[in-house]
Amino acid sequence: NAGVTQTPKFRVLKTGQSMTLLCAQDMNHEYMYWYRQDPGMGLRLIHYSVGEGTTAKGEVPDGYNVSRLKKQNFLLGLESAAPSQTSVYFCASSRTGASQETQYFGPGTRLLVL
């Protein structure tokens, strides 16, 4: 039982390049989330999914797209990377969207955009 995994762990991009971050969970969770973590700030929600085939915008969605074609996978795409997207990206999942539900986090992807 691996929990939540993320690939890659680290990536360097040039401005304007594109990439996809992959998140996978093996807990059969319905809800999945993408957050970004910046120095001196808490985690901020980028996009989320309430089930296979669904996606929705979070707090800071601009410049990102997501897809959830399979229940266990949640992909985060950057079509044209900008230096402002330099951050640590965390994926998380939860069984339901209830307020008391625990979210389980992946180890993160460090992205540097030059």
Partner 1 sequence: AQSVTQLDSQVPVFEEAPVELRCNYSSSVSVYLFWYVQYPNQGLQLLLKYLSGSTLVESINGFEAEFNKSQTSFHLRKPSVHISDTAEYFCAVRLNTGGFKTIFGAGTRLFVKA
Give the shortest CB-95-to-partner 1 separation in angstroms. 11
Give the binding-site size for partner 1 (rule: CB under 8 A). 24
Q: Does 101 bind partner 1 (CB under 8 A)?
A: yes
Query: What's the min distance (Å) between Cβ of 27 and partner 1?
Result: 14
CB 80 within 8 A of CB 16: yes
Site for partner 1 in 7-26 (CB under 8 A): none
Q: Tokens 């910046």 map to which residue?
A: 38
- For residue 8, give the DSSP letter: -
Nearest to 46 by CA among 37, 38, 55, 36: 36
51 forms part of the interface with partner 1 (CB under 8 A):
no
Q: Determine, following the binding rule CB under 8 A, whether residue 41 of this chain makes contact with partner 1.
A: yes
Restricted to residues 74-93, the positions that interact with partner 1 (CB under 8 A) are 90, 92
CA distances from 98 to 30, 31, 55, 60, 68 (A): 11, 10, 17, 21, 20
Please report, as ranges, the residues that interact with partner 1 according to CB under 8 A: 4, 31, 33, 40-45, 48, 90, 92, 94, 97-103, 105-108
